[in-house]
Structure 1
């Protein structure tokens, strides 16, 4: 009996030690992002991932968007940083991929890359070696978000041309309604406003001419579009030059403005803060009837793996999960952002509208083409438009300064 009891106790103790060892062996990943407003979504995603991979846990951490790239680059340069990185695309991706901070991805270690169109993968590709370094997560669009109830109650219709937009703003103002909630105190917002309001006037042909070197930013098409922006800025938030991004969002969420020029990614945030909002979207107004109405589109970023992580296998498993149609469908329908993953099902009517508008689009110009070198086209556009709307520059002067900065490295402008 004593021998039997000792044997049973030994088996039980062995089982305890095995289970304790398994618990100790659980891998914890850190996952960094700049999307604080998406935290609840990612926590839910992590739960679903852990149901499939119970031996891996994921800690989601966020940082302020304006500081994220600096914080991330500093950590990676020091050989630290997170295991999984929500990385931005284009030039910002190159800034952390070029020094070797990211693990190269291919269809061997991440077969799910086959789920993406080439254009999405190109946004996450390092131009110098042609390798992909992140799984794309969203196609974003710059357009105009509007409050359907405000326009309906005022008996007003959506504008298609620029003159109709100005007339709409005047009619709203006459009814003591703020037409736009936008402010310009947060520099990067000036670029989103340009994309949301001027894309149809700037046009795809201008984009092609800029890329080929047939035109530069002093072109009348670009200067005249900036002049139109200056014209409509009188209908932005009261004292708009001192209104920052969070304040402009809150004005719209509170129903104190009819429109918000910015990203399609704003919709989910607005609805989460005020579920009673009935929202719609429309493209940048055209200069004259018959012109093609456009939105500005780009790929927002991707999910990357830290090349120096000691938990590479677990990190790759998580990134692969973030590349599945299951994830893409949840991402699209929860965050109202378009996942570029093939085979997703879009349930949300506004996101369906964005997808339709994307059939007529141009690139979000500076991000896609001129955010690879310094001074970046985005910084030049943001700062000079900010000055122009504050009355410190003319549209011609703003365009000339933008062109001057890009010409320091862009050879077609040096002719």
Structure 2
């Protein structure tokens, strides 16, 4: 081989290698879910790459508490990944309005989601969507099946049955009726007020009316959940005022409490810690035959960095995230985080399946304070934490708590003035 032929051969092989590398696009995902790293690496990414040769994916999470600040810095510096894991509502909406997230309204996969599913990642008027919904968390009550069996308690479906069950557990004395404390405040609102509340304000009907200003927090349907919370005090055990969120988790998983007001995210942790069989029931309705409503709260989505150099490959990935294949993979890898797509998904974990089955018989809504109503000061979400805890402790009446929240909201939110 002459030197000239060798040079041509080397040049040709270099060009061919360059072409092969050019065909491979690498997408980087920004996320706060660092606890999901192995699930993405071992299950989700291999499934996508097998179906999409030429596109590689790297999952590169940050610490949850630092995610917003780290992500904003990277976006401003132009060093952020192609795909951005989206928290619901205002944080992601702000990124979209600043031009940091691409408009995904016309992404074909978006047809797989309802307006409620997309609400966490849509503009206030619902006309533009900027993240593909990945999962929601559902609220209800997890219970100790052994305790219920020992005490002869049927799963309650109405409020009367719920309180009768609590009375029976309390009278027996073997178990604390319900594991929840008020020390950290947020549980009182999240697993209390916004858990049982949708049955009173009729889910989306009431939530949207509050945003529109046609209902007020002092209306009966918004005061009623506080009235129920005030009755919980007698069933939470001694010292509940100083009881932290981890304390409540431990009381339940150690078998010392019979019922746990819950978010479905507890399922995986409880599975590893509880030595008894668990069941779940949705928030009981006022009377048999009433329509039931559940808090099926949009929790996590994924969008496209508007500055990504790999936008087409990114959209290919996002359309896959919108598919039934992804929904099944994600929901079974993370029991308690439920698909938001319209396509039904069978879950392997029976407790997770029980939570998700409520969607077929109850109306889904999201937490009342999360969209639009916590943008001002005082912040309605944080104020609801405080009010819910105060009502349970008995330091504030349901009516006074509702009046305080309404006054705070009306002080800055024009439709409520």
| Superposition TM-score, scaled by structure 2 size | 0.82
Aligned-pair CA distance for 1:136: 0.9
Aligned-pair CA distance for 1:56: 1.6
Runs of 4 or more above 6 Å deviation: 4-10
> 1:321-332 residue pairs with structure 2 within 5 A?
321-332=320-331
> 1:14-413 residue pairs with structure 2 within 5 A?
15=13, 19=17, 27-43=25-41, 44-51=43-50, 52-64=52-64, 68-73=67-72, 75-77=74-76, 79-107=78-106, 110-127=107-124, 130-173=127-170, 174-193=172-191, 194-204=193-203, 206-207=206-207, 209-236=209-236, 239-271=239-271, 273-274=272-273, 277-336=276-335, 337-348=337-348, 349-358=350-359, 359-361=361-363, 363=365, 364-368=367-371, 370-413=373-416
Per-residue CA deviations over 1:107-129 (Å, capped at 9, x if unaligned) read 3xx32222223432343222368
Structure 2 contact 27–55 (Cα < 8 Å) conserved: no
* Contiguous gaps of at least 5 residues in structure 2: none
Structure 1 contact 135–304 (Cα < 8 Å) conserved: yes
Structure 1 contact 88–302 (Cα < 8 Å) conserved: yes
C-alpha spacing 1:28/1:150, structure 2 compared with 1 (3 Å):
farther
C-alpha spacing 1:131/1:210, structure 2 compared with 1 (3 Å):
closer
Match of 1:328, SS state, is: helix
Match of 1:300, SS state, is: strand
Structure 1 contact 144–197 (Cα < 8 Å) conserved: no
C-alpha spacing 1:63/1:149, structure 2 compared with 1 (3 Å):
farther
Structure 1 contact 202–222 (Cα < 8 Å) conserved: yes
C-alpha spacing 1:15/1:279, structure 2 compared with 1 (3 Å):
farther
Per-residue CA deviations over 1:169-228 (Å, capped at 9, x if unaligned) read 233333331333323333432332222234324444654653553431122332232132
Structure 1 contact 145–267 (Cα < 8 Å) conserved: no
| Superposition TM-score, scaled by structure 1 size | 0.83
Match of 1:32, SS state, is: strand
C-alpha spacing 1:280/1:392, structure 2 compared with 1 (3 Å):
same
* Contiguous gaps of at least 5 residues in structure 1: none
Q: Distance in 2 between matches of 1:249 and 1:62?
A: 26
Aligned-pair CA distance for 1:45: 0.5
Q: Distance in 1 between matches of 2:168 and 2:59?
A: 50
C-alpha spacing 1:238/1:53, structure 2 compared with 1 (3 Å):
farther
Aligned-pair CA distance for 1:70: 4.9
Aligned-pair CA distance for 1:326: 0.7
Match of 2:261, SS state, is: strand
Q: Distance in 1 between matches of 2:296 and 2:99?
A: 28
Match of 2:399, SS state, is: helix
Aligned-pair CA distance for 1:231: 1.9
C-alpha spacing 1:413/1:342, structure 2 compared with 1 (3 Å):
closer
C-alpha spacing 1:305/1:407, structure 2 compared with 1 (3 Å):
same
Q: Distance in 2 between matches of 1:208 and 1:31?
A: 33
Structure 2 contact 135–298 (Cα < 8 Å) conserved: yes
Aligned-pair CA distance for 1:246: 3.9
Per-residue CA deviations over 1:69-93 (Å, capped at 9, x if unaligned) read 4554454455544432221223333
Per-residue CA deviations over 1:315-347 (Å, capped at 9, x if unaligned) read 333323212211012223332333122334324
